[in-house]
Structure 1
Amino acid sequence: MIPLLICDDSNMARKQLIRALPSDWGVSVTTATNGHEGLEAIRQGLGHVVLLDLTMPDMDGYQALAAMRAENMQAKVIVVSGDVQEEAVRRTLELGALAFLKKPADPLELQLTLQRLGLLGEPSQPVALAPRVESTAISFQDAFRETVNVAMGRAAALLARVLGVFVQLPVPNVNMLEVGELHMALADAQGSDRLTAVCQGYIGGGIAGEALLLFHDSEIADMAQLMRIRDSDYSDMEMLLDLSSILIGACLSGIAEQLDIAFSQGHPQVLGAHSGIEELIRINQQRWKKTLAVEISYSLEGHNIHFDLLMLFTEDSVERLSRKLAYLMS
């Protein structure tokens, strides 16, 4: 039995990977939820082959790869990530990964990669799972967070190409919020800075909501410079609308593709400073008594530029999303 380690903070992602493994590959599977746990498992001899995520709390995949190199660990690492930026691929291979696969891993692509790297060997007995790997139920929040994680990575790859930067990705936050909590979350996102917000509605397959992209006013000039805007007729507001279309559109497209639905999107609108966000909450108070809130905080490496994407799904959408996610995992 080959000791195989799957290192990913998402229970759903770990199960998806286990299902994608060749059925006659003789491996014993151990799982880890962050880089620290992964390194400890490798030290214990439980990770001859490692399937490693990049975006994890506490210690991410980049840090884990760097630590493996520093300790001269002989683990054979294949990165499986939703962060599909060209620079992410380059960095992981430079840090010692043998291959890079995008999430969710395609079983055939995984098999061909294992074959190419000489890791499959002869057909053997089926995959052996630790009992805890088999029994843990996947929560709605975990499943949807992983779906958003994949979509977020695709949006970042598009943004990275447009701006010529490396986009640093967080673990997305997924929470059910009452309207009062949503108000506090937006106030917290603002901090002491003035914000400009772009709002865009979406609906499809019984799922509806609003996306809010929050820009810090003090960073808008730097973003315009990154986009190499020299046209005096092209205003900052037009630039923010264009950036919003890229990010919101790519995120929605990534979610829609995984859930097999199609979203219709409204026209993005600039809400202005924080008063505009207050007005949005006031208008939608009845519809948003409770909302499924997804928060993604993007930042650009080497630049003091950050923006927060909030995707606010109506309470009625949650049941439909739950059914779609259950089908995805069946």
Structure 2
Amino acid sequence: MARKQIARSLPPNWPVTITFAGNGQEALEALQAGHGEVMFLDLTMPVMDGFETLENIRKLDLPTMVVVVSGDIQEKARARVLSLGALDFIKKPAEPDTVLEVLTRFGLYTPSSDETLTAAPQATKSVSDTQSETTQSDLSSRQSSSQFEVSSFDCYQEITNVAMGRAGDLLAKLTGEFVQLPVPKVNMLEPSELHMALNFAAEESISAVCQGFIGPGISGEALLLFEDTSINSMARLLHYSKITPDTEVEVLTDLSGALLGAILNGLGEQLNITFSQSYPNVLGRHSPVSQLIDANVKRWNTTLTIEVTYQIENFDIVCDVLLLFTADSVRSIDARLEYLLG
């Protein structure tokens, strides 16, 4: 879905041929095959992420101009990609006006008189000879290739990718550290299967907080799960002077409210709805994940499960956020996503 969205955001009169890649390794192979004078690069990808891709582009001295398009909006993420040679950074979801402004500013595209820019361009040189020699058949090929099939799971994963980036940015600001963001895991699961979906091993001791959320036609619950060793490290990063059992609960509830609020706001922006959330409820502390899940399984009736694992770079801190949606919610989300699949 991310590839389709960026393809649809490109200027319709830009005479180029598009090559699609599903991860950084595929991108490098395409560049080495001579494709990609300009590359729009995501950061959160399987196999090889965007940071690794930029490092390899520099190492291999590959001739491409890179614009990063990502839901990871941390200031440190932006600084890293620019230091690795990216021309610019665009946050997801990319708007056509923003893409047009960036392409024009770097002299990669010259807009016609009826196209508007969000900001005055800083560079005005024309497109390259290679671009100007592209035929009309290339344009037709470009347009048809961007209409590939996108599944509902692709959509769930991509809107979560954007939303988790908002929460990751908040976590980075709270801790002052860089937060590593994963590719979200999307599954259709029964409540009894939840512990099998989690990154935590069954014997690991964890603590968990649960919060309900509701919006127009969409409802569910979110779990925040912390390894016991992570809670103390997180408390120190948040500048708690003394770590007590009460401190642990405070860390859990504060982070749950903040992270879930950021994720729900990110989802709401894309789905054009507003969510409300309940007060955090501590489900259990210092328990094996399977025991904690089994003790609360009767409270959940879910079909769609989305898991996001946040890790603080250079610290032994791992926290899982699990979003549990009801069956009715899935139908409502699908209806709201139809315009993105069009």
TM-score between both structures, scaled by the size of structure 1: 0.90
> Which residue pairs with 2:297 in the alignment?
281
Query: Does 2:219 align with 1:203?
Result: no
2:206, 2:267 → 1: CA distance?
27
2:325, 2:146 → 1: CA distance?
31
1:4-61 deviation digits (Å, cap 9, x = unpaired): xxxxxxxx11111111111111111110001111011111221000000001011111
Contact 2:217–2:332 (CA<8 Å) still a contact in 1?
yes
Contact 2:67–2:90 (CA<8 Å) still a contact in 1?
yes
Query: Does 2:152 align with 1:136?
Result: no
Q: Superposition pairs for residues 1-330 of structure 1, below 5 Å?
A: 12-121=1-110, 127-130=139-142, 133-186=145-198, 189-230=200-241, 235-273=247-285, 274=287, 275-284=291-300, 287-288=301-302, 291-330=303-342
Shift of 1:190: 4.4
Q: Give the total of aligned pairs.
A: 314
- Structure 1 vs Structure 2 CA RMSD: 1.9
2:340, 2:144 → 1: CA distance?
22
Structure number having the greater strand percentage: 1
Contact 1:48–1:75 (CA<8 Å) still a contact in 2?
yes
Q: Which runs of 5+ in 2 are unaligned?
A: 113-131
Shift of 1:137: 1.3
Contact 1:30–1:129 (CA<8 Å) still a contact in 2?
no
TM-aligned CA distance change 1:300 to 1:129, over 3 Å: farther
Shift of 1:279: 2.5
> Which residue pairs with 2:128 in the alignment?
none
Contact 1:183–1:281 (CA<8 Å) still a contact in 2?
no
1:141, 1:226 → 2: CA distance?
35
Contact 2:195–2:202 (CA<8 Å) still a contact in 1?
no
Shift of 1:264: 1.2
Q: Which runs of 5+ in 1 are unaligned?
A: 1-11
Contact 2:181–2:309 (CA<8 Å) still a contact in 1?
yes
Is the partner of 1:58 in helix, strand or coil? coil
Structure 1: which amino acid aligns with 2:296?
L
TM-score between both structures, scaled by the size of structure 2: 0.87
Structure 1: which amino acid aligns with 2:42?
D
1:93, 1:128 → 2: CA distance?
33
